[in-house]
Amino acid sequence: MMFDQAQGLRDLAQQSRQATDDAPEASPKNHEITLREEQVSPAASKSRFFPPRVAHSIVDTRQLDASQLGYAVVSTQSPVSTPTGLSETPKIDRPKVARVIAVTSGKGGVGKTNFSTNLSLVLAKQGKRVIVVDADLGLANLHVVFGFTPERSLEHVLRGDCALKDILCMAPGGVQVIAGGSGIVDLANLTERQRDGFIAGLQELDTLADVIIIDTGAGLSRGVLAFLNAAEEIIVVTTPEPTSLTDAYATIKVVAHENPTAKQRLVVNMAQSEAEADAVAHKLTLIAQRFLGIAPEYLGFVPLDASVPRAVRAQQPFVIGQPHSEAAKAIEVIVERLGYKENEARPTGFTGFMNRMQRFFGFAEPGTK
């Protein structure tokens, strides 16, 4: 019966088009509705309500000019009733939110901040809007690696001197940077007014970036744990040194316990060779699987490259100053492996990140008691 109805609709549509062609000066007033056949996707063609590859739409043509009659475009601003009594639900796009990635390490001196800097630059080069937040508590030096001196930092925001958007700095390479400061150490001791203003400012970042990279401090202090407990994605940077591996495992263990839903990833820095990096990653992954029941995703390695310390001394990231170096090529490979996957869970953005951080400190989320 559905096929008979569909055939009748097609005949009616054909008659309507013929009538329009025969009329030299068609007027919108003489047409209440116009039916149209249109191609639909293979998924839609499988619907039990319509024959394969054919769908019917109706529109009110009284608001269209004569040239549009017979081939009117259906508006999706509101549901449209069809002759079969069905309704077409308009597609509602959810607002985009930023992808938040925390970069951390078990100990200092493993090149974490250098990695965060060059990672952000490669992402920006690929057309992403990137913001890097220097969350190294009390030892902020991200701007030094980028090679610029910020006029204001998070410390000014926490003191109430300015809004968060006022301290966004455009760094070389098209990356925006929020410089850290010693004031962020007192994040847990802010007054309610300071905290609400700080959180509101941070939540604005969702609309300003596609990717937000949080460069945390090293170790497992309470300030670092606040960021790791809030992040949905975490990159743990380690080196082949035994002490670095031990501390990296400790970080993975704590995150697995405190933030079990976080996606943990691993990068081996300063490796003598790919074989050495693979062996380190394999060993760390096996231990994590055996004792923690998780397997951090291995993103790749950055080789021991003389261009890296030269870039640090020159205060110019190596992907800018030495774009053809082995280290720069390695960062590009890591970014490729870090890429957005269609089947990956939708991120909750920086707003969700800050809500989880507030829960870590025992604060109520905005709008709750």
Strand partners, 201: none
User: How far, in Å, CA of 275 to CA of 176, rounded?
Assistant: 35
pTM above 0.75, yes or no: no
Coil vs helix vs strand at 241? coil
User: How far, in Å, CA of 247 to CA of 231, rounded?
Assistant: 19
For tokens 């390490």, what's the residue?
A: 105
CB neighbourhood size of 133 (10 A):
26
Is the model's pLDDT at 291 over the cut of 90?
yes
For tokens 């300071």, what's the residue?
A: 194
Contact predicate 353/262, CB 8 Å? no
- The mean pLDDT of 46-68, rounded to a whole number, is 39
**Range with lowest mean pLDDT among 160-164, 229-233, 290-294:** 160-164
Q: pLDDT category, 1, cuts 50, 70, 90?
A: low
**What pLDDT score does 158 carry?**
75
**Range with lowest mean pLDDT among 193-202, 228-237, 305-314:** 193-202
Contact predicate 206/97, CB 8 Å? yes
**Range with lowest mean pLDDT among 46-50, 305-309, 344-348:** 46-50
User: How far, in Å, CA of 297 to CA of 307, rounded?
Assistant: 27
Contact predicate 135/215, CB 8 Å? yes
Question: What is the radius of gyration, based on Cα positions, of the chain?
Answer: 28
CB neighbourhood size of 335 (10 A):
20
**What pLDDT score does 51 carry?**
37
Q: pLDDT category, 190, cuts 50, 70, 90?
A: low
- The mean pLDDT of 86-95, rounded to a whole number, is 46
Helices (H), the chain: 2-22, 42-45, 112-125, 142-146, 154-158, 192-203, 222-230, 242-258, 274-292, 307-314, 318-321, 326-337, 349-360
Give residue-wise pLDDT tens across range 135-182: 886 677 899 999 998 888 887 887 778 888 889 999 999 999 998 876
DSSP assignment letter at 226 = H
Is the model's pLDDT at 220 over the cut of 70?
yes
- Domains of the chain (ranges, CATH numbers): 23-88 (no CATH), 99-360 (3.40.50.300)
Percent pLDDT > 70 in the chain is 60
Q: 27 or 323, which is more confident? A: 323
**What pLDDT score does 203 carry?**
72
Q: 316 or 93, which is more confident? A: 316
User: How far, in Å, CA of 47 to CA of 361, rounded?
Assistant: 50
User: How far, in Å, CA of 207 to CA of 95, rounded?
Assistant: 9
**What pLDDT score does 4 carry?**
53
Is the model's pLDDT at 9 over the cut of 60?
no
- The mean pLDDT of 189-212, rounded to a whole number, is 74
Give residue-wise pLDDT tens across range 18-38: 544 554 444 444 443 333 434
**What pLDDT score does 308 carry?**
96
User: How far, in Å, CA of 144 to CA of 132, rounded?
Assistant: 13
**What pLDDT score does 331 carry?**
97
User: How far, in Å, CA of 97 to CA of 119, rounded?
Assistant: 20
User: How far, in Å, CA of 121 to CA of 114, rounded?
Assistant: 11
Q: Phi-psi category of 30—alpha, beta or left, where left has phi over 0 and alpha has psi -120 to 50?
A: alpha
For the chain, the first-to-last Cα distance in angstroms comes to 57
**What pLDDT score does 113 carry?**
94
One DSSP character per residue, 141-174 reads -HHHHHT---S--HHHHHTTSS-GGGGEEEETTT
**What pLDDT score does 154 carry?**
81
Both tokens assigned to 177:
């940077």
Is the model's pLDDT at 13 over the cut of 90?
no
Q: 66 or 233, which is more confident? A: 233
Q: 91 or 363, which is more confident? A: 363
Average pLDDT score, the chain: 75
- The mean pLDDT of 65-76, rounded to a whole number, is 39
**What pLDDT score does 285 carry?**
96
Contact predicate 136/217, CB 8 Å? yes
